Amino acid sequence: MQQQVEVINSLDLVDTPALLVDLDLVDANIKRLFGALSKTHVNVRPHLKTVKSEYFAKLMLNAGARGVCVAKLGEAEIMAAAGIEDILITTELAGAPKLVRLMKLLQEHPEIKIVVDSQKGANEINTAAEKFGLTIPVKTLVEINVGQNRCGVEPGAPALDLARHITALRHLKFVGVQGYEGHIQMLGSDSERESSCLEAMGKLISTVKLLKAAGLTPEIVSTGGTGTSEICARFPEVTEVQPGSFVFWDVAYRNAIGNTYANALTVVATVISKPFPNRAVVDAGMKSLSTDSGSAELKGHANISYRAGGDEHGIIESADGPLPFDVGDRVEFIPSHIDTTVNLHDVYHCHRSGVALELHAISARGKVQ
């Protein structure tokens, strides 16, 4: 799939609300993370649930990423069509409609990897693969619950039992384990985040050792997010980490971890009403800036608050006197949560120093199936 790129000469020509991406800051974020992890033995498999775009996926692959992660089958379909083969789908897949799509995708892209956390799930995928006549076994990771208490088989003996079950299935190939400690990515204290990560890694690594002792050595041990990747990389058993949000950064991560990375993505909006000197309305509401992690921040104006005023409206207000904006002025917001904000938009408006703007489609936007 060849992505169409359009070039616009000025940011002022971008209609609002819209996503702006500073490519210089993106480059710096990628360089910072890859530079830190290049000193370790682990590979970087960036999670594309943040960027949802083959353009940014290929930026990271060119920087040294060894494959990518996606959360949804629809995202995998987009990335595979763009020529990316080494894809790990990090969410369990189940149900007849999903498995039919998965099998069709695997027929053309056998390097795609999946995760399972139950014998029933594994059996259904094996049956589907047999019906479709797959000649290459499905590369399968056992997902282990390392404390998030979401998906994942329990560590230790239950994970070993599932790995053994997979090896007995004709159309599945056990290739490794996944253990994601998502519950601790944004713990505000460095020491608390580190100690909690070490606890999670203890569950994962003890299971890896158990698998090795049973003759089921995993070639892939996948773990770690933006907030914990460098901690996870200390363990020799870990082979790869899955950071995603570092590319753009957001208010939630910054508040938790600090300015480790730069806020490379903003939402530009226009002031459409100013009913009071200290309060104005912009054209970016809940359909432009997600609120699941709180409110966005007005870039460069810490004393001016933002709150959603409905689907299409946002309200900015100053507690220190009149706003320095009038109707028609443009303002930029730093999203509170990158992933969910990006999923509200169709296009990235990319620039360097405010010029040479490129439009790149958010091709996996809305791919929730």
pLDDT of residue 218: 98
Q: What is the pLDDT of residue 223?
A: 98
CA distance 132 to 107: 9
9 belongs to a structural domain: no
Residue 365 lies in a domain: no
Is residue 193 a part of any domain in this protein? yes
Report pLDDT for 6.
Answer: 64
Question: Which 3 state secondary structure label does DSSP give 314?
Answer: strand
339 vs 22: CA distance, rounded Å: 17
Average pLDDT over residues 220-225: 97
pLDDT by residue (tens digit) across 150-203? Answer: 999 999 999 999 999 999 999 999 999 999 999 999 887 889 999 999 999 999
Residue 2 has pLDDT above 60, yes or no: no
Range list of H helices, 44-151: 54-62, 73-81, 96-108, 119-132
Cβ-contact 245, 231 below 8 angstroms: no
How many C-beta atoms surround the C-beta of residue 190 within 10 A? Answer: 13
Supply the pTM of this predicted model: 0.95
Helix (H, G, I), strand (E, B) or coil at 246: helix
> Lowest-pLDDT range, 140-154, 160-174, 268-282, 346-360?
346-360
Q: What is the mean pLDDT of residues 88-113?
A: 98
Q: Are 349 and 20 in contact (CB under 8 A)?
A: yes
Residue 203 Cα distances to 148, 159, 224, 235, 329, angstroms: 12, 11, 13, 12, 53
Q: Minimal CA–CA distance to 335: which of 273, 250, 215, 226? A: 250
- The answer as to whether 162 is a domain residue is yes
Taking alpha carbons only, the member of 198, 200, 185 closest to residue 234 is 198
pLDDT of residue 13: 86
Residue 210 main-chain phi, psi, to 5 deg: -65, -45
Can you give the residue range of the structural domain that contains 42?
23-244
Helices 119-132 + 96-108 axis angle, to 10: 60
Mean pLDDT of 63-76: 97
HSE-up of residue 359 (Cα within 13 Å, Cβ side)? 16
Domain presence at residue 334: no
Residue 5: pLDDT above 70? no
State how far the Cα of 80 lies from the Cα of 61, in Å rounded to an integer: 14
HSE-CB of 318 using CA atoms within 13 angstroms: 14
H-run or E-run covering 210: helix 190-213
- Is 353's pLDDT higher than 90? no
Q: How many domains does the chain have?
A: 1
Distance set, CA 71 to CA 33, 47, 107, 178, 340 (Å): 21, 8, 20, 13, 13
Higher pLDDT, 264 or 11: 264
User: What are the tens digits of pLDDT across the range 312-339?
Assistant: 999 999 999 999 999 999 999 999 999 9
* CATH code, domain with 165: 3.20.20.10
The Cα 359–Cα 8 span in angstroms is 8
* pLDDT at site 355: 75
The mean pLDDT value of the chain amounts to 95
List Cβ neighbours of 45 (8 Å cut-off, separation of 6 or more): 65, 66, 67, 68, 69, 88, 222, 240, 241, 242
- Residue 229 included in any domain: yes
Q: Is the CB of residue 70 less than 8 Å from the CB of residue 95?
A: no
Domain membership of residue 363 (yes or no) is: no
Query: Is residue 260 a part of any domain in this protein?
Result: no
Looking at residue 190, what is its pLDDT? 87
Q: For residues 228 and 231, give the distance between their C-alpha atoms in angstroms, rounded to a whole number.
A: 5
User: In the prediction, which pLDDT does 1 show?
Assistant: 44
Q: Is 26 helix (H, G, I), strand (E, B) or coil?
A: helix
